[in-house]
A and B are shown apart, each in its own frame.
Chain A
Amino acid sequence: EVQLVQSGAEVKKPGESLRISCQGSGFFFSSYWIGWVRQVPGKGLEWMGITFPRESNTKYSPAFEGRVTISVETTIDTLYLQWNSLKASDTAIYYCARRGLNYYGVDVWGQGTTVTVSS
């Protein structure tokens, strides 16, 4: 079965660091564009960044560049999203998302990781 499985919910304080993960299975992970999409509760969707693991090619949305780091460990088919210093405004659901092989829509989503940042 093709799937993306994300790490569990996190509760953090402002200023803390965090790394969440997304592990792929059932497909050739390195051959797909895979990225992160943020959804603030009750709000819309935002692309944060996307990467092509086989070529180590990563693009960041300007709104998130410098705030987060996207990385990949291809040996375990896992994508990461990392913050060095969280803010309350980072409270959201974070989805990893696989772009289709021959089209640009997301055909596989992770189940989402809820990150809550509160003092």
Chain B
Amino acid sequence: ETVMTQSPVTLSVSPGERVTLSCRASQSVSRDVVWYQQKPGQTPRLLIYGASTRAFGIPARFSASGSGTEFTLTISSLQSEDLTVYYCQQYNNWPWTFGQGTKVEIK
């Protein structure tokens, strides 16, 4: 099973800041990574698929990159509605596995 490790666990930021979240896979997963945003009491929302393609309706301030074992999600200018939890997930091999999440909170 591929273990996905996200860092940091918690990120304290100020609105307007550039934010970078990291995700590392325990083995190569090519570019088979998606990113989700989950707000409290809500279902996850797909942000990115194929490591770098924004899903429909996702604002341009969200971008992502990576391949192999290292992946990043960047929020270019943090908005207040972005303060929540983000998960990466690989789908290169079954079982598909999520990272443990990064919580983005206000500084």
Contact = CB atoms under 8 A, between A and B. Distances in A.
Interface size class of B (residues with CB under 8 A): 20 to 34
Contacts of B1: 62
B96 A47 contact: yes
Interface in A48-74: 50, 59, 61-63
Contact of B34 (A59, A95, A104): A104
B91 A104 contact: yes
A61 B91 CA distance: 13
A107 B95 contact: no
Interface string A94-108: 010000100111110
Interface stretch (B10-18, B19-27, B41-49, B72-80): B41-49
Interface residues of A, number: 20
A7 interface: no
A47 to B, nearest CB: 5
B58 to A, nearest CB: 11
A45 B34 contact: no
A77 interface: no
Contact of A112 (B43, B94, B97): B43
